[in-house]
Amino acid sequence: MSYQFRNVSVLVVDDVRPMLSLVSSLLKIFGFSNVYLADNPEDAFAQFCKYKPDIVITDWQMQPYDGLELIRKIRRDPRSPNKFVPVVMMTGYSHRIRVEKARDIGVTEFLVKPFTAKDLCARIEQLVERPRKFVDTGEFFGPDRRRRKNDTYKGPRRREEEEVFEIDLVEPSDAEKIPKDLQDHVRSVGPSTRKKTDK
């Protein structure tokens, strides 16, 4: 599906300048005109609070603190203007333990390096097409980590005893406003005229 991204703002965070430049260039090819750049998490959070971007794309390994701490601040810090913002984590590590750790902090989508332009575009489209509900358990706040339940599954239970957690789905008026705004932004002016790329 094609989108018009010119009304959507993105904050890109990476302490490696060539990567920051690459992601910025790809986003502009896709049609984004409001792209903010930060080469460290402290500046990134300051820009996040100032510009209130619709999407955040951040690297994992950075100084003085990493991308996980940045996401924690976005989700939990009282100064955060939008704790529901979709966050895409760029990382060179795809080991399950690291993925689960980032998921538990509040990452929305993963983008494993090295990636193609098609990979980046697919993650952004995922944010628009399949926005995730937010969950607040007290210890965790972020996108729902559970996979969609398959009611048609008739096979054996994977676990005889399943852990039961008390969770609160955040009120739709709050949690669904952000993805709806994002959807409205990309669809408000019709089909996209962005260039196709096979990179």
Residue 64: band (very low, low, confident or very high) from pLDDT cuts 50, 70, 90: confident
Q: From residue 182, give the alpha-carbon distance in Å to each of 3, 134, 143, 151.
A: 11, 16, 16, 30
Can you tell me the distance from the alpha carbon of 14 to that of 67, in angstroms, rounded to the nearest whole number?
Answer: 9
Percent of the chain past pLDDT 90, that is, above it, reads 43
Q: Comparing C-alpha atoms, which of 137, 121, 6 is closest to residue 75?
A: 137
For the stretch 134-155, pLDDT in tens is: 776 766 666 765 545 444 545 5
pLDDT at res. 107: 87
Half-sphere exposure of 43 (CA within 13 A, CB side): 12
Domains of the chain: 9-148+159-187 (3.40.50.2300)
Can you tell me the distance from the alpha carbon of 179 to that of 123, in angstroms, rounded to the nearest whole number?
Answer: 14
For the stretch 99-148, pLDDT in tens is: 888 788 888 898 999 999 999 999 999 888 888 777 767 666 667 655 45
CB 32 within 8 A of CB 5: yes
Residue type, 190: G
Can you tell me the distance from the alpha carbon of 84 to that of 54, in angstroms, rounded to the nearest whole number?
Answer: 10
Which residue did the predictor score with more confidence, 102 or 27?
Answer: 27
Residue 70: band (very low, low, confident or very high) from pLDDT cuts 50, 70, 90: very high
Number of neighbours of residue 137 by Cβ within 10 angstroms: 11
